[in-house]
Copies of this chain bind each other. A is one copy, B any other.
């Protein structure tokens, strides 16, 4: 039996999603935030989209930089994710305060996050408003992947890393490696 709702203040029934730490270094600004609304948009060219509210400091930084990195954390890094999600670059230098380890990108100027198991270097192809968020369309120029975590097709090995998943309202969870299944229908 299902309940029927037409009013819902939060909108998080579709989770869990992996946590992406997104941000950039513009001429004068450096900031990253935890982002739960993201998706691939295209294989060819490879486009990855992240949704960011206009209120976020990161919105300003990526808009100026016209590039960003998206960095995915394992479940052990839950505290860092919560800090990068709930605290604002408007109020503090999050990189310094939370001792985030940055590493240089190879193509763009904005750094990747060293603690991440996979990082995308993206050039902003478009910024488009959808309701109260803007979609930052990133053309993925390069991927940094922790060795041995993914197979040749880019499938994560759950025996090697357990991705941090956001469940909404400050709840986090991760995968159960033993539940892995490979299913090809007849």
Interface residues of A (CB under 8 A from B): 1-6, 8-18, 20, 37-49, 51, 70, 72, 75, 78-79, 82-83, 86-87, 106-107, 118-120, 128, 130-133, 135, 137, 140-147, 150, 153-156, 158, 162-163, 165, 167-177, 179-185
Closest 5 A-B residue pairs measured CB to CB? A42-B131, A176-B176, A41-B130, A39-B39, A2-B144
- Which residues of B are found within 8 Å of A131, using beta-carbon distances? 41-47
B70 touches A14 (CB 8 A): yes
Say which residue of B79, B144, B172 sits within 8 Å of A3 (CB atoms). Answer: B144
A10 touches B169 (CB 8 A): no
- Which residues of B are found within 8 Å of A18, using beta-carbon distances? 14-17
